[in-house]
Amino acid sequence: MIYSYYPGCTLKDRARQLDLYARASAAALGLELKELTQWQCCGAVYPAASDDIASRLSAVRALMNTEEKKLVTMCSACHHVLKRTNFDWKQDATFRTRATNYLQPEVPYDGSVEVVHFLELLRDEIGFDELKKKVVNPLTGRKIGAFYGCLLLRPSKVLSFDDPENPTIMENFIRALGAEPVSYPYRNECCGAYVAMEDQKSAQTQVERALNSAVAAGCEELITACPLCMYNLVENATVHRLPVKYFTELLAEALGVKEA
Amino acid sequence: MDQNTRFLTETVLRISGVDPRKCMKCGKCSGTCPNYDAMEYHPHQFVSMVENGLIEQLMNSNAVYLCLGCMACVERCPRHVAPGKLVGALAQLKLRKQDGNHKGGNDIAAMADEKVPQQLLMAAMRKYRK
Ligand code: SF4
Ligand code: SF4
Ligand code: SF4
Ligand code: SF4
């Protein structure tokens, strides 16, 4: 199967591994991720004001440039912005009209693209049972916790990614790779987000709460899909610390393509 | 309510899509807010103070920039009031005032260390300036 792919700017730089391991894993699974020929940074935050059209235009451009039926995203934040903008396109006629008038596209976007996170693709199109069969290096004996953070799950009505209060997709993913998933209470709370830059203490408080909860539950390592969560969980850790990997690195390891 | 307060209130309700009259004052939003301790005003207060014409007081507070945008209060509000949307929209209104930027591009660059992901820089650019 061929999917259009929106990597996002962070994956071209700080979060390179998130992208490289995703590509290697996709190839091993027989999925073709075709990067959009043209895309711009999605802006990282979904705008807080419904009359803010401009901040959503780059997401609209990405949707318009999508050739396949599905647009795959890897970063939690890109996924959030693209999925919500796509939702607005279908629900909000004012937004649709204003954005179309501004962009003046040769062919107006018809709203038919589906935005999917790579984890959703693994769950819904490959299936975790099938994924398990493709594992060549089972991660036996490793106790791994998932850090979901906020952007993948909320608002759940729009993202419909997983149960926002008791998500299981990443735990099932971890189990498929042969490791032992460890659920802990703070896995779907915030890491401190962008406030980390102006008020490091806020981020440190959130991160300590999450890491304390993860360590208490028995996690020995964590996975994330978000470069900002990665930054906060590592750089703003104070008392407790855990190794943190992108979920794609874990996948590449289990599929035996990490060194390739 | 004077004219300016009324204008600000109507604008913030329109661009946030929040209806404060739906709030049943259960406090669940503030109970779940991860940055409660750092914020001068808390999510449930944002809702009641906007309703009671105290929007300027909120706009003068740094609390709007301490909201993490985590949407915990949005997801968990039993009445679908979604206070976090109000907080975010108030921050936007603040930025839209003349010279309303909270930080300039250079300030943001100065706060970044070499490990900061692009995503964080972009988010700060969006959240702190127009
Ligand atoms: S979220 Fe970040 S990395 Fe992903 S595209 Fe948007 S800004 Fe770039
Ligand atoms: S970094 Fe954490 S807070 Fe930020 S988006 Fe990712 S999940 Fe949410
Ligand atoms: S959770 Fe909702 S209903 Fe309860 S106080 Fe907060 S805004 Fe009001
Ligand atoms: S969105 Fe803001 S106000 Fe709401 S819970 Fe998160 S930090 Fe608190």
Which tokens hold the place of B89?
């929209």
The answer to pTM > 0.80 is yes
What SS3 class is residue A175? helix
pLDDT, tens digit, 9 for 90 and up, residues A132-184: 999 999 999 999 999 999 999 999 999 999 999 999 999 999 999 999 999 99
pLDDT, tens digit, 9 for 90 and up, residues A107-137: 999 999 999 999 999 999 999 999 999 999 9
Spell out the residues 6+ positions from residue A79 whose beta carbon is closer than 8 angstroms to its own. Answer: A73, A115, A117, A151, A152, A159, A225
Q: List chain B domain ranges.
A: 3-99, 102-130
SS3 annotation, A74-114: CCHHHHHHHHHHHHHHHHCHHHHHHHHHHHCCCCCCCCCCE
Percent of chain A, pLDDT > 90?
97
Q: How many whole angstroms separate alpha carbon B24 and alpha carbon B13?
A: 17
A58 to chain B, minimum CA–CA distance in Å?
Answer: 13
Please state which CATH number belongs to domain A134-255: 1.20.1050.140
pLDDT of amino acid A260: 59
Q: Give the mean model confidence (pLDDT) for residues A13-36.
A: 97
Q: How many whole angstroms separate alpha carbon B56 and alpha carbon B61?
A: 9
**CA-nearest residue of chain A to B17?**
A50
Q: Are B104 and B129 in contact (CB under 8 A)?
A: yes
Which tokens hold the place of A192?
């401190």
Q: How many whole angstroms separate alpha carbon A196 and alpha carbon A203?
A: 5
pLDDT surpassing 70 at residue A21: yes
Q: Are B68 and A206 in contact (CB under 8 A)?
A: yes
Beta carbon pairs, A and B, within 8 Å: 140
Q: How many whole angstroms separate alpha carbon A143 and alpha carbon A182?
A: 6
Q: Are A154 and A76 in contact (CB under 8 A)?
A: no
Contact residues, chain B to chain A, C-beta under 8 Å: 14-17, 34-35, 37-38, 65-72, 74-75, 85, 88-89, 91-92, 103, 108, 111-113, 115-120, 122-124, 126-128
Mean pLDDT (chain A) is 97
Q: How many CB atoms lie within 10 A of CB A254?
A: 25
Percent of chain A, pLDDT > 70?
100
Q: How far is CA A72 from CA A63, A67, A82, A85, in A?
A: 11, 12, 10, 15
Residue with the two structure tokens 């209806």: B19
Domains A2-119 and A134-255 share a fold: yes
Cβ of B77 less than 6 Å from ligand 4: no
The architecture that CATH gives domain A2-119 is: Up-down Bundle (1.20)
- pLDDT digit string (tens) for chain B, length 130 residues: 899 999 999 999 999 999 999 999 999 999 999 999 999 999 999 999 999 999 999 999 999 999 999 999 999 999 999 999 999 999 999 999 888 899 988 988 888 888 889 888 888 888 888 8
Neighboring chain B residues of A156 at a CB cutoff of 8 Å: 75
Hey, what CATH topology would domain B3-99 get?
A: Fumarate Reductase Iron-sulfur Protein; Chain B, domain 2 (1.10.1060)
pLDDT, tens digit, 9 for 90 and up, residues A32-64: 999 999 999 999 999 999 999 999 999 999 999
Q: List chain A domain ranges.
A: 2-119, 134-255
Neighboring chain B residues of A153 at a CB cutoff of 8 Å: 75
Neighboring chain A residues of B17 at a CB cutoff of 8 Å: 50
Q: How many whole angstroms separate alpha carbon A83 and alpha carbon A78?
A: 8
Q: How many whole angstroms separate alpha carbon A172 and alpha carbon B115?
A: 31
Q: How many whole angstroms separate alpha carbon A243 and alpha carbon A233?
A: 9
Which tokens hold the place of A208?
């300590």
